[in-house]
Chain A
Amino acid sequence: MKDVRLFDTGFSAGEGLARFAQAVPDAGGIVSFVGKVRAEQDVKALELSHYEPLTLPGMEALADRALERWALDGLMIWHRVGIMQPGAPIVLVSAGARHRRDAFEAVDFAMDHLKSDAWFWKRERRSDGWHWIEPRGQDHNDLSRWDILTEQD
């Protein structure tokens, strides 16, 4: 079971989780991550832009890789685009599996890839206007963990 979506208006993480839990009734465990717009000094809003012909297929391919790599009953990736206020959910990733380790790792893997190589561009509005957010080195370090693990497999 795979549920990958982009939303241009707000979604409810609670509703997403309830729907996912119904879709994987035999899972022994479900791990979920909700990413939100961080409340920071002077950040009034965050805008996420995307290029739909690449962004959604890229998310689908990421979900397929996670489903191949871990024994999962299902995987859900919901992601917002557009303008969001601090506190609003940006991303919801849930994995259901027979055993918890597969679910934890699949969610961690999906988040590291969404944060570093998914087709999204971010800018934030501060009191002096909009500022583009540059790629973070930490996100690439997080991503390389999975390459090392692959070599060890």
Chain B
Amino acid sequence: MSVRVLFLGKLSDLAGAERDMDAPLDWAGLLENLPAGAKALVEGEKVRLALNGTLLADKTALQAEDGSEIALLPPVSGG
């Protein structure tokens, strides 16, 4: 029963490229499982969150079930 959490861009330096967390997982549960440096960035408005490949308009409304994939996306640096 787990959720895969992917860390893109510089978030991967702070939390590793990916982590598995216990399902079900909501916003508070996600933040609890992050190292302090990553937590501060993820809480900020610049980091977007995708659940199963779809961006959430409000990341704090996160409800991830077993087998879900969460991607944490810092501002892009462009192609």
- Taking beta carbons and an 8 Å cutoff, which residues of A are in contact with B? 35, 48-49, 51, 53-54, 79, 90-91, 114-123, 132-136, 139
Contact = CB atoms under 8 A, between A and B. Distances in A.
Chain B, interface size category, equals 10 to 19
Contacts of B73: 51, 54, 119
A54 B79 contact: no
B78 A115 contact: yes
26 contacts: A51-B6, A51-B50, A51-B73, A53-B53, A53-B71, A54-B50, A79-B79, A90-B79, A91-B79, A114-B78, A115-B79, A116-B76, A116-B78, A117-B76, A117-B78, A118-B78, A120-B76, A120-B79, A121-B76, A122-B77, A122-B78, A132-B13, A132-B77, A133-B77, A135-B75, A136-B78
Contacts of A51: 6, 8, 50, 71, 73
Contact of B78 (A49, A120, A123, A132): A120
Interface in B37-79: 50, 52-53, 55, 71, 73-79
A145 to B, nearest CB: 15
Interface string B23-45: 00000000000000000000000
Given A35-B79, A53-B71, 12 more contacts: A48-B79, A54-B50, A54-B53, A90-B79, A91-B79, A115-B78, A118-B79, A121-B8, A132-B13, A134-B77, A135-B76, A139-B78
